[in-house]
Amino acid sequence: MDIPIGLPPALTPTRYEPPSPPPAATRTYTWREWGEWLVKDVPKDIKRKVTDAYRIFKNKVLSLYGKQPTVKSTLVSSAIKKNTAKWMIPGDEFKDPWVFLNSARSEVEKIVNDVEGAKKVYLVLTCELVKEDSKTKQKTYTTSHGRSNTHAITVNISGEYEKMREKVLESLAKFQKNGSNWRLHKVEKLEVSVTKYEPLKGKGYTTPLPEPLKGKNAIINMKNEDNQCFKWAVTRALNPVKRDACRVTKILKLQVEKYNWEDIEFPTKVKDIHKWEEKNNININVFGYDEETKKLYTLKLGEQEIQRKQ
């Protein structure tokens, strides 16, 4: 009897691979077909809202990939030696405020940036709304204004435009929410108001704080006799004391030396503060005060200035 020498090689299992399914037929769907599919099973009482949502979505996609109407501004008023001016951008070719404001951005930036020096900017978006009586089917129209806050621009508007746009849309949405079944019918126009102003400069102590600010006990009004108010105010803020905080003391003069003041001009303009920030790696916020409205407004936010220069 013959005995085999050695053992047969061990079997190695292989992974099962299921057969690939046959390729599916491809087809390109149009916006109309997709829209019909979207709303075909939607209840009638909310079909209009779904249709509006589809239209807005379509316009937003087209704003990214499609060609939009050209926007162009017109100067409609100018006064006080051209220090105050208003431009109008027609929006009648647009059906969606978001798309219109995005398309108008470059034109708004051009308007604002062409005005030399510091300025205050204010946007107003005008839209027409419509609602329909469920019984009589009669339509009623009204006008709504979406307003931004007033922004003080000392460099350029690019960093502020998104905030202004969102405030405009928020204002418009608030009107629709508080109304009764109002729907957007069309965009009419965007008004851009620009007012030139002289930004605050740090200077010596001249007058006391306005009463509304003085009463808050939250602001130190340095009593210096030179034009280096910026230097003394910043140093005091970084080295607080409990008594006589507004005085330029011998100790404060020594504390000033801890910081780099090279190439800083006095009195210091708001637009030049970033130089000190970069040298000392410290951010500074600057606010103005409108005595007519009794409100503070932003002149500069330290973090935004740093981001702008990166």
Mean pLDDT over residues 61-90, rounded?
A: 76
For 45-54, write each residue's pLDDT tens digit. 666 666 666 6
- Span(s) in the chain for CATH 3.30.1490: 74-196
Provide the pLDDT for residue 267: 83
For 171-192, write each residue's pLDDT tens digit. 888 877 776 678 888 899 999 9
**280, 200, 267, 285: which is closest to 230 by C-alpha?**
267
Backbone angles phi, psi at 263, to 5 degrees: 65, 15
Q: What is the rounded CA–CA span in Å between residue 252 and residue 266?
A: 18
Architecture of domain 74-196: 2-Layer Sandwich (3.30)
Residues forming beta bridges with residue 201, ordered by sequence position: 269
73 token code pair: 């501004």
Mean pLDDT over residues 1-10, rounded?
A: 60
159 and 114 Cβ atoms separated by less than 8 Å: no
Q: What pTM was computed for the model?
A: 0.50
